[in-house]
Structure 1
Amino acid sequence: MFMGTPKSKFFDIVFNANRNLVENELEDLIERLCALELIAEEYEDNLEQKIQEIKFSKSEELENRKFDTFINSMGNILTQNE
């Protein structure tokens, strides 16, 4: 059960947990992403270029945050799935 990466476990849960719970979690993630994009657009003229710069210059930090997001989302789904 605990084998694999946070990403692979996240997708295991997404594909096997209650569909409504997964939809709610994915909708929350998308809403958060959209809100952060709106905030970023207020402070950054060329948002896409800045995103690419961050992907290159802060790839390790970005990867760590992705893992954290996968883990947090799994926890959100699993605690509601009980």
Structure 2
Amino acid sequence: MYFEDDEVLGGSPKSRFLDIVFHANRNVVEKELEEIMEWMAALELIVEQKCGMDVEKEVRNILFDDSKKKDLENKVNSLYIEYMGKILSQSE
């Protein structure tokens, strides 16, 4: 899905997310960013411990595999939207 001119969001998920992060309550954004980092750290630990994989290598494989670009783009956009919602719901 192409989001750059999305009429519902008024821009791409990334641009809307950044608008929200730069204008929302700093404490709310800080809390949400801390939770994102904890989530990423937990996911890395799961991959390392449960799967015995080299996280850095696996991430690079996904980032530079053209056949996975669309899936990666969709997941990134989905996460931008998810975290936008979390920040906005705490900012009301």
Match of 1:34 in 2: 41
Distance 1:76 1:18 in 2: 12
Match of 1:44 in 2: 52
Higher relative CO (CA 8 A, sep ≥ 6), structure 1 or 2? Answer: 1
Question: Which among 75, 85, 88 is matched to residue 75 of structure 1?
Answer: 85
> How many residues are paired up?
82
AA partner of residue 78 (structure 1): L
Aligned-residue CA RMSD in angstroms?
1.5
4+ residue segments displaced more than 4 Å: none
Distance 1:44 1:53 in 2: 16
Match of 2:70 in 1: 60
Unmatched 5+ residue regions in structure 2? 1-7
Normalized per residue, the structure richer in helix is 1
Q: What TM-score results when the alignment is normalised by the length of structure 2? A: 0.81
Distance 1:2 1:54 in 2: 27
Unmatched 5+ residue regions in structure 1? none
